[in-house]
């Protein structure tokens, strides 16, 4: 079987087009976005007008029906244009989660939400983390009880993506709940909760990279057609959402490292010490060589994972293959790319840690994203259990 690491002509054209567009609309706004701590209105309009939040959505709703490799290209170029990550998360995370509605939502929910995602830039993140559980996402305590033609939701989520953006620009929260708490993980479901619903209280946690949010539900009533999939399949759908979001999360870290190495190389060619450019010292050359090789490896792991997600969508690969590939990409990116970014910061010396340079915000964002969509330890658990078998899970009772 031949192996081809090239992109299609259409993908190469898309990359060039989107890169030029980002350069005009995003790159010059990085410091403004950082100060605002939220995607600004003009940047939101620019990204929406380009159809980026609808990249993965069906054409019948105005989307592009892009494959996941093309989606990864969009994420890579966006993060190289905006290393703050603040403009990027509503795009890549919002787009990945909106696809869950497109695939598993009811016809009424699709008609209600998806056109607004494309045209108005609505954002629809999936929220599972709670004050008492993160990686152990099946331990959620948020409940949704059916009452007539509605679900009544009570519970709290925290450390969430895009809460301020949803409140400002519209949309809602795909929320993991237990519709039958007595069944444990088998009683989990996903429900889309419009942000304008009554009984919702939101808060913001100021993050080291991007701000995170919290949402509390107090007898929040949601129409029955907002159920995603069917009652009881929330665990599997959440697993799938993790994989779909894990690939672009890994790519955000990779792209940030690529940009930092690019900035760092320009700097070490110009900065002089002891009568020569600091790039002339082997210490920096060896760091650069190692970092470049490791970032390149992580980049191709991301694209391989995106390719396997596409294969899964086409029915040509099992879900486990895509899950394994996504975790491998996330693990390597979280370790090797963070080192590359840290090295680049140090090449700039003390100024690299100041707001005069993009490197400090890039490091903060990348360190935060290394935790998002599963910590390094969580990725190792996924990989190890795929290799050894689920019977070796730490939570299993040993005979």
Same domain, 384 and 250: yes
In a domain, 301, yes or no: yes
Same domain, 386 and 239: yes
CATH code at 32? 1.10.540.10
In a domain, 182, yes or no: yes
The pTM for the full model equals 0.94
Q: What kind and span of H or E run contains 126? A: strand 126-127
CATH code at 133? 2.40.110.10
Among residues 120, 148, 179, the one where a domain terminates is 120
In a domain, 210, yes or no: yes
Structure tokens at 178: 């237990």
Secondary structure letter of residue 224 according to DSSP:
G
**Confidence (pLDDT) at 89:** 87
CATH code at 383? 1.20.140.10
Determine the 3-state secondary structure of 153 from DSSP. Answer: strand
Q: What kind and span of H or E run contains 301? A: helix 282-313
Same domain, 364 and 238: yes
Distances (CA, A) of 182 to 178, 232, 302: 9, 12, 38
In a domain, 396, yes or no: no
End-to-end C-alpha distance for the chain, whole angstroms: 44
In a domain, 2, yes or no: no
Same domain, 95 and 208: no
Same domain, 348 and 241: yes
How far, in Å, CA of 57 to CA of 65, rounded? 5
Radius of gyration over every alpha carbon of the chain, rounded to an integer in angstroms: 21
**Confidence (pLDDT) at 393:** 82
Same domain, 216 and 279: no
**Confidence (pLDDT) at 394:** 77
In a domain, 362, yes or no: yes
Same domain, 284 and 379: yes
Same domain, 171 and 110: no
Same domain, 179 and 112: no
Distances (CA, A) of 208 to 85, 105, 254, 344, 369: 11, 34, 18, 18, 10
In a domain, 81, yes or no: yes
Domain that residue 349 falls in: 234-390
**Confidence (pLDDT) at 169:** 96
**Confidence (pLDDT) at 269:** 97
Same domain, 254 and 370: yes
**β partners of residue 39:** none
Q: Number of folded domains in the chain? A: 3
Q: How confident is the chain (399 residues) per 10-residue block, as mean pLDDT?
A: 84 95 87 87 93 95 96 95 86 92 97 97 96 90 94 96 94 97 95 97 91 96 97 95 95 97 97 96 97 98 98 96 97 97 96 88 93 93 93 71
Q: Is the dihedral of CA 259, 261, 265, 268 positive or negative?
A: positive
Same domain, 245 and 365: yes
Q: What kind and span of H or E run contains 22? A: helix 9-25
**Confidence (pLDDT) at 1:** 55
Same domain, 224 and 238: no
Determine the 3-state secondary structure of 63 from DSSP. Answer: coil
């Amino acid at each position: 079987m031949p192996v081809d690491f090239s992109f299609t002509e259409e993908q190469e054209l898309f990359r060039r087009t989107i890169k030029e567009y980002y350069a005009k609309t995003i790159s010059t706004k990085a410091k403004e976005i950082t100060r605002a701590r939220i995607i600004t209105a003009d940047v939101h309009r620019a990204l929406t007008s380009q159809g980026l939040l609808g990249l993965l959505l069906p054409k019948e709703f105005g989307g592009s029906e892009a494959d996941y490799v093309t989606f990864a290209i969009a994420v890579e170029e966006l993060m190289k244009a905006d290393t703050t990550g603040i403009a990027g998360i509503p795009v890549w995370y919002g787009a990945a989660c909106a696809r869950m509605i497109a695939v598993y939502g009811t016809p009424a929910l699709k008609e209600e939400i998806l056109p607004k995602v494309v045209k108005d830039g609505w954002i629809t993140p999936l929220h599972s983390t709670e004050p008492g559980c993160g990686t152990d996402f099946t331990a959620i305590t948020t409940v949704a009880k059916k009452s007539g033609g509605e679900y009544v939701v009570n519970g709290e989520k925290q450390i969430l993506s895009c809460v301020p953006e949803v409140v400002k620009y519209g949309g809602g929260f795909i929320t993991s709940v237990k519709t039958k708490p007595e069944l444990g993980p088998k009683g989990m479901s996903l429900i889309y909760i419009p942000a304008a619903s009554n009984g919702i209280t939101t808060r913001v946690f100021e993050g080291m990279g991007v701000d995170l949010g919290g949402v509390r539900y107090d007898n929040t009533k949601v129409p029955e057609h907002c159920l995603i999939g069917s009652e009881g399949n929330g665990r599997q759908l959440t697993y799938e959402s993790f994989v779909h979001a894990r690939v672009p999360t890994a790519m955000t870290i990779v792209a940030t490292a690529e940009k930092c190495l690019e900035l760092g190389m320009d700097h070490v060619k110009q900065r002089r010490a002891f009568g020569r450019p600091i790039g002339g010292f082997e210490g920096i050359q060896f760091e650069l060589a190692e970092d470049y090789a490791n970032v390149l490896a992580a980049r191709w792991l991301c694209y391989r994972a995106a390719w396997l997600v596409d294969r899964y969508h086409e029915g040509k690969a099992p879900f486990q293959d895509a899950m394994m590939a996504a975790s491998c990409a996330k693990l390597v990116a979280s370790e090797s790319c963070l080192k590359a970014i840290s090295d680049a910061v140090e090449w700039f010396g003390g100024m690299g840690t100041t707001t005069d340079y993009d490197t400090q915000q890039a490091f903060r964002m990348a360190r935060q994203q290394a935790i998002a969509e599963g910590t390094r330890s969580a990725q190792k658990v996924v990989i190890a259990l795929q290799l050894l078998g689920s019977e070796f899970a730490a939570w299993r009772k040993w005979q």
